Structure 1
Amino acid sequence: MAKELKPGDPAPPFDMPTAGGGRVSLANLKGKRVVLYFYPKDDTPGCTQEALNFTEKAKAFAAAKTEIVGVSRDSVAKHDKFAAKHGLNITLASDADGAVTEAYGVWGEKTLYGRTYMGVERATFLIDSKGKIARIWRKVKVPGHVEDVLKEVKAG
């Protein structure tokens, strides 16, 4: 596992395919702030709610010159279905090989109903316009999270 990132660290670079046939990379977002949020799986209750909350506030983030990028290890095809089903208008990136989830330290052991498995920890990273990590939210609880992130973005 990568060393634990902290505010002030340079954000690990990424370049991933996205829903809708595009690509997203940290290099192409230079000069903008980025909310990079990691979630376990498309179309599960918590992940759907989080994506809908970010979609609902997308205009407010855009007004604050901040891009939203959701990342899971699901395929682009799954992202396309997820976005279409729920009318999502945020960037969903596919980290199918796990390189980005590893670089950000959000891939690890999880436990559900006493079963241990490897999975993505729900976490959000705010990256400043110079490519440094400004703030990190780990073990995110979905209710109220997007509002917290938006508050931070507006304050910055």
Structure 2
Amino acid sequence: MSSTLELGAPAPDFELPGAGGETVRLKDFAGKTVVLYFYPKDDTSGCTKEAIEFNRLKGAFAAVGAEIVGVSPDSAASHDKFRAKHGLDLALAADESKAMLEAYGVWAQKSMYGRKYMGVERTTVLIGPDGRIARVWDKVKVAGHAEEVLAAAKALHV
């Protein structure tokens, strides 16, 4: 669980391939607030709703110096299709190795209909401009979540 992340601790570093041929690196966001939202799978109902909500508020996040990065174990090619299909203008990082997902504690055993499997625990991590963990939301419910994260990002910006 992402409760392994300690508030105030340095955010685990990462460098991942992203949609559009980008490389997404934590160090590239130095001095900015970063919203890392971890989601299970491109183009599923909850993940699509969450991406659309963050995308809708992208300008408001930018106004407080915050960048949004979605991370899932899907491939960069899958992210490209997902962005194109839903008109998303967000950085989406592909962690097919799951090393970064594990570093952030979001690659976890889940259970559905009595079957246990490994998957992404929907989690959002707010990283302050100093590169430290400012806030963690575990087991995220999509409805209203992007607005809640925006309010926390605004509070950091003051």
TM, length-normalised to structure 1: 0.97
Question: Hey, what does 1:49 align to over in structure 2?
Answer: 49
Q: CA RMSD in A?
A: 1.3
- Equivalent position SS for 1:12: coil
Q: Report if the CA contact (8 A) 1:16-1:24 is conserved.
A: yes
**1: CA distance between counterparts of 2:118 and 2:78?**
20
Q: Report if the CA contact (8 A) 2:30-2:129 is conserved.
A: yes
Identical-pair percentage: 60
Q: Report if the CA contact (8 A) 1:40-1:122 is conserved.
A: yes
Question: Hey, what does 1:18 align to over in structure 2?
Answer: 18
TM, length-normalised to structure 2: 0.96
Unaligned stretches of 5+ residues in structure 1? none
How many angstroms does 1:95 deviate by?
0.5
Count of aligned residue pairs for this structure pair: 156
Write the mapping of 1:119-134 to structure 2, written as runs, cut at 5 A: 119-134=119-134
- Equivalent position SS for 2:12: coil
Unaligned stretches of 5+ residues in structure 2? none
How many angstroms does 1:114 deviate by?
1.5
- Equivalent position SS for 2:36: strand
How many angstroms does 1:3 deviate by?
8.0
Q: Once the two structures are superposed, what CA deviation does each residue of 1:12-31 show, in whole Å capped at 9, x if it has no partner?
A: 00001110000111111111
Q: Report if the CA contact (8 A) 2:2-2:123 is conserved.
A: no
Q: Report if the CA contact (8 A) 1:6-1:133 is conserved.
A: yes
Write the mapping of 1:1-156 to structure 2, written as runs, cut at 5 A: 4-156=4-156
**2: CA distance between counterparts of 1:113 and 1:79?**
28
